[in-house]
Structure 1
Amino acid sequence: MEDDIDIAVDKWYELFNQVINKHAPMKTKRVKTFKQAKWFNEEIKNSIQYRNMYHSKKDWVNFKKWRNKTTSLIFNAKKEYYQNAITSSKNSKELWNHIKELNPKEDNIFPPKMQYENQTVYNNQDIVNTLNVHFSSVAEKLIGNNTSDMDFSMLQNFTSEKLKKTENFHLKLISVGEVCSQLKHLNINKSAGLDGIGPKFLKLSAEIISPSLTFLINKSITSNRFPQKLKLARVTAIHKGGPRDIPSNYRPISILNTISKIFERHVCTQLYEFLNNNKLLHIAQSGFRQGHSCQTALTKLIDEWLKYLDNGEIVGTVFLDFSKAFDLLTMPYF
């Protein structure tokens, strides 16, 4: 393997893709797919056949009878299926998937035009470029001329009270076993990143590629450099609402290369452990913490509110939402 991390990563991709192209070459094939609704049953199928038969015979009396029966069967089947599905949903993701099925939105419609800075573009490539310019410059526009230094004295005081002067965070190297375990636990239903390598290929070849990936991760750690290739992401513009020809009505979703997730998970695990062990995470923080969520935050807030209300006091709350919060973080603050 090369000493330079970027050259080493490029070489790894070259060798891996050679093997993939040899044993599983990409081929284009048209496949006619038909996804049957889960609420559809044999009774509805038979009713549709009778309805269509009487329609073709122009027997309008029986046609109306079976049309109404078919409509009723479909309505009741949908009602029963979604009531059971929503009631038995094990998590919020599963619940919202069912709700989206009931109220489908046209999220994947490509806008016919895009308006930006008093100009309107119609070409597909120009529309994509316009969204790219908007996403990459929106933070700078929000910051504007506000370049004043932020006061981090309170944060520094908080951390200095928790940490000893000799207590520093040191990123440990990763083992072949840890890399192999992470590869074997990849979700094969996740999308591939810009490199086109899906998690299924990596999972199937986990034991073979673990040593080489371990070398790359450890090389990145010891050289204090994250590979340039793994910084690239496939960005999808998701429509939030409102007119589809306004860039600000879209939010970017970055699909990272699966390999970079192995890198990042290793760093995240150690960093979270360090923060948690040294009690550097505020007790009121619920975001980005294991075992915490919006539900835990709401439970604590409601409990506090009820205590005040029981004592006859008035409760007032202020909710803040930071626009482009992560994009507004600049390098000097890290």
Structure 2
Amino acid sequence: MGSFKIIHTNICSVNCNFDSFIVLLHRLSFKCDVIVLSECWISKISTIPQIDGYTTYASSYSNQNDGVIIFVKSDISHDIITDTRIDEASGLLLKLGDDFYILAIYRSPSYKNIDYFCNSLDTVLSSLESVKTLILLGDINIDISTSSIDRNKNKYLDFMAYYGLLPAHFLPTRNDNCLDHVMVRSDRSSNTFVLDSHITDHAPVLFTVECKVNRVPLRTSCSKIDYPNLDQELSITDFGQVYLELNPNVATDTFIEIVTSVISKHTKVVPVPHRNYPIKPWMTPGLVKCTRHRDKLQKKAKINPQNAILQLTYTRYRNFCNKLLKNIKIEYEKQEFIKNKNNTKGTWRTINKITNLKKNNLPPTELLKCSTDPYKSLDQVNKYFADIGQNLADAILQKHKNETANTESIMCQTQMSINSMAVFDVDPSEIEAIILNLRNDCATGVDKIPTKVIKNSRFSLIPPLTHIFNQCLTSGVFPDSLKKALVHPIHKNGARDSIGNYRPISVLTVVSKILEKVLNTRLINFLEKNNLIANKKLLTKKLTAFKKNKII
């Protein structure tokens, strides 16, 4: 059973201090399982910030400085209880198992009487009485330190004790006051640490508990291809069986079998290191060292408040660190735009990262519960997405089956072309041009042949591909193996256990994409030459989509 790590801090505005908090996380020698931020000023945030490898949730708010944000490691199975409402506070309830809950709360200091707060919280806690491990944490703005004279202290602690929640610490978190609480009900061993950090006037609190949670297994290995040796072997590989086949299906299957066998021969499995990589890519060792020195100066300044020189030195160095952090981040973002200046997709990827519009897509594990058996659930999901196209086509035909007369009238008014569409053979130079224009980051399809293999070994692979494609054009057959796609369900909105709330992303093989572009070129030439679409604007729009291989 491992140690489950939770860190909480009053961030005093995410817009102002989030980047500094990220530096603090990077300085830790481990990654926290759950990160809780309070007093987030959510009302002033256009988009909630993201952390790679974490799923993000944000609470509602009632005033400008309200709000709680929770980050949960993406490999942890969890649920967020969305209907958690607490009067005079903002909060989120996180379920990590049937017997493990975390309740994160921020209560503003503007509320002096705790009666409304306790009465509302009573409803939430009473529903969790059977939970064995319950952790309530956040900035409650009630001083529970041993020397506290806060008039709400005893009433608050008595209320918590009624539900078996006891303070995990009484250490000061803001000046000499203990305002950032960790209240625990558990029979598991735990530890609490107040970190010496000065991002805001509140100290972060780290809580660890020996508790087991369900995790999605991390990938422990990956495949690595030896491209130079692979290219060398493909150059001497005999594709004679492909040239002998006149059946496009058999020729394609033979080609794929030969290439995949050579790839597997030059592929080795290597372990994936799970080191503590930077949480943000703009993080530098120099920046981390700078923040360490800043914190040392802060300690000295705190011990010697009368030393004017030390106070001035700390203030100047703190401002220097803050400015350095902003400049490093801005320069990184600038370089990302320069790197992707000719890549529209890369530019939008950078924009989404900077503006926090990029969402961490969680694996759709909820779809495994569509049936009593996971394998039956997979079959059900696969059938749903496989039949979407056919069902849509049938619906359109059904809708227009009574409009035959109207359709014939329209066809009579439309100028018909007397020319038939001739599909000419493809030559190696055309295929090479198509291959060179393929993106390097294209996902591999069912055959697991990467784009990089096709590009690097194109001189060896173009001749058999030319033969296969010409057989396809001659016989009018699109090979069955090139019709297969890997379908990735992407959640749109709504309940995650409903198939209808997902959109499918179909990943075809690289060979299939090349053949599509061959056919695409011939179709475009025919449409342009014969001017078959009367509406010029519509023609331009549709041809642009065709040229970009988009569905229209």
- Aligned pairs, how many? 287
Question: Does the Cα contact within 8 Å between 1:197 and 1:258 map onto a contact in 2?
Answer: yes
For the structure 1 residues 210 and 241, does the alpha-carbon distance in structure 2 shift closer, same or farther, using more than 3 Å as the test? same
Deviates more, 1:212-221 or 1:274-283: 274-283
- In 2: Cα distance, 1:176 partner to 1:292 partner: 22
What is the DSSP-based 3-state SS (H/G/I as helix, E as strand, rest coil) of the residue aligned with 1:290? helix
Equivalent position of 1:153 in the other structure? 408
- 2:386 pairs with 1:136: yes
- 2:256 pairs with 1:6: no
Structure 1: gaps (5+ residues): 294-324, 327-334
- In 1: Cα distance, 2:505 partner to 2:529 partner: 32
- In 2: Cα distance, 1:251 partner to 1:8 partner: 33
Using the TM superposition, give the Cα deviation of residue 197 of structure 1 relative to its aligned residue in structure 2, in angstroms: 0.2
Question: Does the Cα contact within 8 Å between 1:183 and 1:203 map onto a contact in 2?
Answer: yes
**Per-residue CA distance 1:214-240 (angstroms, 9 max, x = gap):** 110011111121111001011111222
- In 1: Cα distance, 2:326 partner to 2:443 partner: 34
For the structure 1 residues 107 and 289, does the alpha-carbon distance in structure 2 shift closer, same or farther, using more than 3 Å as the test? farther
Q: Aligned to 1:283, which of 536, 539, 549? A: 536
Equivalent position of 1:245 in the other structure? 497
- In 1: Cα distance, 2:435 partner to 2:330 partner: 41
Question: Does the Cα contact within 8 Å between 2:520 and 2:546 map onto a contact in 1?
Answer: no
Using the TM superposition, give the Cα deviation of residue 278 of structure 1 relative to its aligned residue in structure 2, in angstroms: 1.2
**Per-residue CA distance 1:130-184 (angstroms, 9 max, x = gap):** 432332344538829936525433663465x252x2x100111101222233223
- In 1: Cα distance, 2:396 partner to 2:542 partner: 29
For the structure 1 residues 105 and 85, does the alpha-carbon distance in structure 2 shift closer, same or farther, using more than 3 Å as the test? closer
Equivalent position of 1:309 in the other structure? none
Structure 2: gaps (5+ residues): 1-243, 304-310
Question: Does the Cα contact within 8 Å between 2:364 and 2:489 map onto a contact in 1?
Answer: no
**Correspondence 1:1-334 to 2 at 5 A:** 1-22=244-265, 24-32=266-274, 34=277, 37=280, 39-40=282-283, 44-51=287-294, 70=321, 73-75=324-326, 77-78=328-329, 82=333, 92-102=344-354, 103-114=356-367, 120-121=370-371, 125=375, 128-138=378-388, 140=391, 143=395, 146=398, 148-149=400-401, 150-151=403-404, 152-153=407-408, 156-157=411-412, 161=415, 163=417, 165=418, 167-281=419-533, 282-285=535-538, 286-290=540-544
What is the DSSP-based 3-state SS (H/G/I as helix, E as strand, rest coil) of the residue aligned with 1:225? coil
Deviates more, 1:245-254 or 1:266-275: 245-254
Which residue identity does 2:325 align to in structure 1?
A: I
Q: Under a length normalisation based on structure 1, what TM-score does the superposition of the two structures give? A: 0.70
- In 2: Cα distance, 1:178 partner to 1:124 partner: 45
- In 2: Cα distance, 1:224 partner to 1:194 partner: 23
Equivalent position of 1:297 in the other structure? none
Equivalent position of 2:86 in the other structure? none
Question: Does the Cα contact within 8 Å between 1:237 and 1:253 map onto a contact in 2?
Answer: yes
**Per-residue CA distance 1:26-74 (angstroms, 9 max, x = gap):** 423223473684544576333223246568x797678x96777655643
- In 2: Cα distance, 1:5 partner to 1:253 partner: 27
Structure with larger Rg: 2
Query: Which is bigger in relative contact order (C-alpha 8 A, separation at least 6)?
Result: 1
Bigger share in helix? 1
For the structure 1 residues 38 and 89, does the alpha-carbon distance in structure 2 shift closer, same or farther, using more than 3 Å as the test? farther
For the structure 1 residues 71 and 4, does the alpha-carbon distance in structure 2 shift closer, same or farther, using more than 3 Å as the test? same
- In 2: Cα distance, 1:148 partner to 1:162 partner: 22
Question: Does the Cα contact within 8 Å between 1:113 and 1:123 map onto a contact in 2?
Answer: no
Q: Percent identity?
A: 25
